[in-house]
Structure 1
Amino acid sequence: MTTTQPTDLAVLIGRFQPFHHGHAALLAKALQSAPKVVVILGSAFHARNPKNPFNWQERAAMIANTLSEADRQRVSYIPLRDYYDDKRWASAVLKEVGKQVPAAARIALVGHFKDASSHYLRHFPQWELIEIGSQGDIDATNIRQVLFEAEDMAISLDVVAAAIPLAVRHYLKAWSLLPCYRELVREYAMLKEHKASWSGTPYPPIFSTVDAVVKTAGHVLLIKRKNHPGLGLWALPGGFVEPRERLLQAAIRELEEETTLGVLSNTLPDALVGVEVFDHPDRSLRGRTITHAHFFDLKHEQLPEVEAGDDAASASWVPVHELAGMEELFFDDHFHILNHFLHLTKD
């Protein structure tokens, strides 16, 4: 439904990776429609990767730089994590927006139905929808491709100049000087090569993996990744299932290979508390990857010895109470897997 009635608050939702002219048109419509605008910055608290290269603070600054001083005062920003669960995500949006206005306030959602990824606009029937049409062939994915593939950032910015506001262009030029940019370029190249290796298959493959959540004495066993993707990020011990393995067997094998956990492997099945499937289509940039996460509670009073092996840079016991503050340091959705089993966040 499209509204022409005055509203108290306009909401704009997106990842804005990066902010481009299509986004700017939506924001301009939001500012025209209400005295206050809330911008929901999706995929917040996520580790940097080629799909989400900018943290939420950088995106907020990027957007603010395109606005007049008067309009900056009218716009506020709400970072929102990925939940990989539509109901939880929509509930979190409603909760955060509800903090901005009285209960009886009239709220409008400004958006554009670009493709299947725009289905989130249907999650808020209690808000009035202000829909605007296409602003041309502008796609953030293509912009990121140019930024990560060209060898000269100045040339890259010239190529995408027609798609992004001038203030964002200046911002990206400065941002590209940060050390994280070169790491993202390397990771992008690795992921591109990986996808090219199976591009000739009749159908895109679906990868089957396992992960191990091992808890004891108030700690969880984690590794730091030694290679791209996710170089240097915290992760759960895990990996791909081999052709002749059962899932539990694969989880125990990966756990032993990556951490050399000082526990007899034949005792681990008795420590298994539960298994959950994590299958969101966007949980991994390597392709469609479905993992079975195995939760082991050793119930030891002392921490067993661990040592990094295989493709892990390190293996460590991390206190559970520290995990909530480490969200932006985790690979893929591994923080969310931990949150599922250990209830780390308030929501």
Structure 2
Amino acid sequence: MYDTAILIGRFEPVHTGHLALLNRALEEANKVIVIIGSAFQARSPKNPFTWKERADMLLGGLSESNRTRVDVVPVRDYYDEARWVKAVQKAVNERTQPGARIGLVGHFKDASSSYLSSFPGWELIPLTRQGEIDATMIRNAYFGATADTIPIALSPFHDVLPKSTRTLLEQFATQSEFAELQNEWRMLRGYREAWASAPYPPIFVTVDTVLRCQNQILLIRRAHAPGKGLLALPGGFIEPRESIWQSCLRELVEETHCDVTPERLQQTLQSVHVFDHPDRSQRGRTITHAHYFDLGDAPLPAVQADDDAAQVLWMPISEIVKSEEMLFEDHFQILNHFLRNQILSE
């Protein structure tokens, strides 16, 4: 027996394969810690449910006595393997005794399972994959239906969806967020289909601007999918005849009409960092060059929303962590990279 068994996953949504892993963990240890990944993300077609909703789906598939043996812990995406591993280890260490024998339950299904090799101090508790079903197939059927046809759309998955999952899916389909995510799902599907016949998977190059002034950050509210209504950094795709710097200046002006001159921006540029995690954007492989400017205590520049921005606003740095679940893609982690000591302490 292990002192503690660990199960790591996104569970978007929970299916019987997840429950098989959880039950295996309960067989191997008296205490189980479930790490729910992609926590605190804005809702999206890939991450439609909050970590608490996913926890309810998981625990709802267990007996009451087994629920008391499970500790569910949310862990955010860092888009940095080393930082994510450290965060998971920290969460487990805080909930276990020194020297505890720890087992990690899982199976290698594809490249997304590589994390199982990231914890050499934990013994792997293997379990054969339970059929070919995965959460992506369920999400595609779900978002391809209407609120009225959800039961029909999910009928092929009836045997692999626990009652707790079916109940949540049917209830969520009646909420306004469902229709918004459907629009996102359709947009992203069409986006990927548009370049599906390319000889090689395309790699997109973008720019983003982190503009700081009076300890506030300039943000926009996105006007269109993907991420309609979410907060984001001003930015966009590089035009064919532009340099990265030229694209940064153009996107900032197009979206915010910021009246800071290019010369002033050049003087206040603090750093440029490339964010290239393969999963940072659902649109496809997207590499962005984020530019960090600090205008110090100068008066706030005049701004006005335009182009892809429905709104432009200055957000105090102290408020950013409270808005994490409203930030687009990995923009919270981009901000955290440049402002780490003022947003997250870990």
TM-score by length of 2: 0.97
Q: Aligned equivalents of 1:101 and 1:137: distance in 2?
A: 34
Q: 1:254: Cα distance to partner?
A: 0.3
SS in 1 for 2:306: coil
- Which position in structure 1 is the counterpart of 2:47? 52
Counterpart code for 1:208:
V
Q: Does 1:178 align with 2:179?
A: no
Match of 1:234 among 231, 236, 254: 231
Q: Tell me the equivalent position of 2:10.
A: 15
Q: 1:63 aligns with which of 43, 50, 58?
A: 58
Q: 1:250 aligns with which of 247, 256, 272?
A: 247
Report if aligned partners of 1:146, 1:160 keep a CA contact under 8 Å in 2: no
Residue 78 of structure 1 is matched in structure 2 by 73
The amino acid that maps onto 1:345 is L
Aligned to 2:336: 339
Q: Deviations over 1:113-163 (max 9, x none)?
A: 111110000011101110111111111111100001123112122122122
> 1:314 matched to which residue of 2?
311
Residue 187 (str. 1) matches residue 170 (str. 2): no
2:258 equivalent in structure 1: 261
Q: Which residue does the alignment assign to 2:206?
A: 209
Tell me, in whole angstroms, the C-alpha distance in 2 between the residues paired with 1:78 and 1:156. Answer: 31
2:127 matches 1:132: yes
Shift of 1:167: 2.6
Q: 2:82 aligns with which of 79, 87, 97?
A: 87
Deviation at 1:261, TM superposition (A): 0.6
Rounded to whole Å, the distance in 1 between the matches of 2:16 and 2:238 is 43
Give the conservation status (yes or no) of the 8 Å contact 2:56–2:164: no
Q: Does 1:42 align with 2:41?
A: no
Q: Which runs of 4+ in 1 moved over 6 A?
A: none
- 2:21 paired residue among 23, 26, 35: 26
Do the aligned partners of 1:217 and 1:301 also contact (CA within 8 Å) in 2? Answer: yes
Residue 300 (structure 2) aligned to one of 303, 313, 319: 303
The one-character-per-residue Cα deviations of 1:208-228 (angstroms, maximum 9, x if unpaired) are 000000001111100000000
- 2:39·2:51 contact (CA, 8 Å) conserved in 1? yes
Instruction: Give the superposition deviation at 1:103.
Output: 0.8
Deviation at 1:176, TM superposition (A): 1.6
Same amino acid, percent of matched pairs: 52
Aligned to 1:115: 110
Asked whether the 8 Å contact 2:213–2:295 carries over to 1, the reply is yes
- Whole-angstrom distance in 2 between the partners of 1:199 and 1:132: 34
CA RMSD of aligned residues (A): 0.9
- State the Cα distance separating 1:198 from its structure 2 match: 1.1
CA contact (8 A) 1:15 1:43 kept: yes
Q: How many residues align?
A: 342
